[in-house]
């Protein structure tokens, strides 16, 4: 199954490259981040997003003794004692204002497995906290806490549970008066915001807005969709096409077919072996089940597994649950 593992790595890498395009990010920011809701896509992409987004190079965990730069080229937040886990995408954004510019640090994560054995929301909260704590010694020092910058961790979940499909949910700190009516300025406590953006199993042609955009570039594609996707990105989402983005979209389109071919080959191999003893029909069914289990273990999205095996998502989930994978 090394080919499926390689395909998964290629899928993850292509997914991050597409999401890290500044115009794709601009669409996400406009829809999800309140500070940018009134700005144009072009303005967000060309003025607000600072520098080039870092892709899979910045570790999440860091020892308190390690102080590496958050800005510029030295953007690592490394750990000496824990296994390295990287942010998928991290970048800075600024919204120029006459009185005082708004500065934000934003993390975007692509997540295929919505139930990895722990709460994704708690992980998003943890990422927010790490983004805040990493600012000490770089964004602010000593007691200059007023210089702290607000952080967002935005999770793009391609395969959520049914109740989460096609939802965007923000979690934020609020002031709650227990006694009296004291009031602090929101910028003093509104510093960490995790956001869950959950897609689903519909085809992108059935959707609108950000859901259509993300479904279009991340899932439910094939090679024949490529030109249609590129044209819609330009015409409806104000995306300026670059060689990197075109390459990323092409890779995402081709990878669906690659997963299909790898899965079919593996399923046929397993099915034929079983067929020698139990009959070809039973063998192919067994091979299909083995394919489902192997792809689930590799954390491949349900929609891709369904295309490979020609089974429904419900049947795939049943197989996974019966074998202790889901």
Residues 6+ apart with CB under 8 A from 33: 93, 104, 106, 152, 154, 195
Domain positions in the chain:
22-201, 258-322
Q: How confident is the prediction along the chain (326 residues), in pLDDT tens digits per residue?
A: 455 666 677 778 888 888 999 999 999 999 999 999 999 999 999 999 998 888 887 788 764 334 444 444 344 454 444 456 788 899 999 988 766 788 999 999 998 888 888 999 999 999 999 999 999 888 889 899 999 999 999 999 988 988 999 999 999 999 999 999 999 999 999 999 999 999 988 888 889 999 999 988 887 566 667 788 888 999 999 999 888 888 888 877 776 554 544 454 545 455 445 544 444 455 556 677 888 888 888 778 887 788 778 788 888 888 888 887 87
The angle that helices 302-309 and 243-278 make with each other, rounded to 10 degrees, is 50
pTM of the predicted model as reported, rounded to 2 decimal places: 0.73
Q: Quick one: which of 65, 251, 205, 88 has its CA closest to 157?
A: 88
Burial of 223 by CB count in 10 Å (0-12 exposed, 13-18 middle, 19+ buried)?
Answer: exposed
């Amino acid at each position: 199954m090394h080919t499926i593992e390689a395909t998964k790595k290629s899928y993850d890498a292509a997914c991050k490259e597409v999401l890290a395009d500044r115009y794709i990010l601009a669409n996400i920011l406009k829809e999800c981040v309140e500070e940018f809701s009134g700005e144009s896509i072009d303005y967000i992409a060309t003025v607000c997003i600072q520098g080039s987004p870092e892709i899979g190079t910045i570790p999440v965990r860091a020892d308190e003794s390690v102080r590496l730069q958050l800005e510029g080229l030295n953007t690592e937040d490394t750990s000496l004692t824990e296994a390295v886990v990287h942010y998928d995408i991290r970048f800075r954004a600024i919204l120029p204002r006459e009185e005082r510019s708004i500065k934000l640090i934003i993390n975007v994560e692509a997540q295929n497995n919505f139930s990895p054995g722990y709460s994704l929301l708690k992980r998003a909260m943890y990422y927010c906290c790490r983004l805040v704590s990493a600012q000490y010694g770089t964004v602010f020092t000593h007691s200059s806490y007023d210089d702290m910058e607000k952080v967002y961790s935005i999770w793009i979940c391609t395969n959520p549970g049914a109740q989460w499909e096609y939802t965007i949910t923000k979690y934020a700190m609020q002031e709650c008066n227990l006694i009296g009516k004291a009031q602090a300025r929101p910028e003093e406590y509104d510093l960490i915001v995790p956001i869950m953006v959950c897609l689903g199993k519909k085809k992108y042609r059935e959707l609108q807005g950000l859901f259509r955009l993300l479904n279009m570039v991340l899932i439910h594609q094939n090679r024949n969709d490529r030109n249609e996707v590129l044209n819609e990105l330009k015409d409806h989402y104000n995306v300026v096409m670059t060689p990197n983005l075109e390459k990323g979209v092409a890779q995402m389109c081709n990878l669906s077919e690659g997963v299909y071919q790898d899965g079919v080959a593996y399923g046929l191999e397993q099915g034929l072996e079983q067929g020698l003893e139990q009959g070809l029909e039973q063998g192919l069914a067994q091979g299909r089940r083995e394919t489902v289990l192997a792809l689930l273990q590799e954390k491949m999205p349900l929609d891709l597994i369904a295309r490979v095996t020609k089974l429904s998502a419900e049947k795939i989930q049943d197989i996974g649950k019966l074998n202790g994978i889901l």
